[in-house]
Amino acid sequence: MSNYQVKLIEQIERTPVVESFGFLSEKKIEFLPGQFLRVIFSKEDNQLNKYLSFSSSPTKDYIEFTKKLSESRFSEKLKELKKGDVIEITAPLGNCVFKEDYKKIVFLIGGIGITPVISIIEYIVDKEIDTQVTLFYSNRREEDIAFKKELDNWSHFNKRIKVVYTLTDAEPKDKTCIFGRINKEIINENLESLSERVFFIFGPPRMVEAMSKVCLDLGIEPDNIRTENFLGY
């Protein structure tokens, strides 16, 4: 773990309230897919310093993180950033990571929990790893689905990658989306050989707790469940 000065090179709107921020560092930032960083805006006020997942693969020559923007002071600081601005980060952090010997993995994800998943899947695609990936990705409405274009593109060209979208608050217009929350029935209908897979769950504590219970109800061994709680995002 080290501190880095990184320069903003790009901002990408993922949804009306979710934005990605891409940065360059003079020194290569080494991290594992699934890890996160800490943005440091203030040495005195921790409310201005937040933990955010990498939403880019370690294979890239830049780093990216993605945030659901709110009215918080931290979000306001992000909104004020302009191309060329330099900020401080601490990285890498976290142990909930992908390993190349995982042959079959599953993600149970809601909303902004998608960010480390993007890092992992992009890494698998870039390195041409033969891991089989199934992503269950829940959002309230279709317009809330961040990174949909990227996920659809990866799953279209790589048949080892499968994405199952679920919507909780509105009947989907896209008939490939499922109306409802991720549950045992949806997982069983879209997945075989559950015991052969490593399950990843990223998100706020209530989501992580609920999805962990679903895994245990499905008979998944605790050793095959990897979790990371998003706090204060």
pTM, two decimals, is 0.95
Statement: 2-93 belongs to CATH 2.40.30.10: yes
CB neighbours of 223 closer than 8 A, spacing ≥ 6? Answer: none
CB neighbours of 189 closer than 8 A, spacing ≥ 6? Answer: none
- Identify the pLDDT of residue 232: 59
Average model confidence (pLDDT) across the chain: 95
pLDDT tens for residues 76-128?
999 999 999 999 999 999 999 999 999 999 999 999 999 999 999 999 999 99
Q: Report, as an integer, the average pLDDT of 42-68.
A: 96
Domain boundaries, the chain: 2-93, 104-229
- Identify the pLDDT of residue 176: 80
Residue 32 has pLDDT above 80, yes or no: yes
Strands across the sheet with 198-203, in order?
178-179, 161-167, 132-139, 104-110, 198-203, 225-229
- Identify the pLDDT of residue 107: 98
Residue 233 has pLDDT above 60, yes or no: no
- Identify the pLDDT of residue 204: 86
Three-state DSSP state, 43: coil
- Dist. CA 79–CA 19, nearest whole Å: 9
Residue 49 has pLDDT above 90, yes or no: yes
pLDDT tens for residues 102-116?
999 999 999 999 999
Statement: 104-229 belongs to CATH 3.40.710.10: no
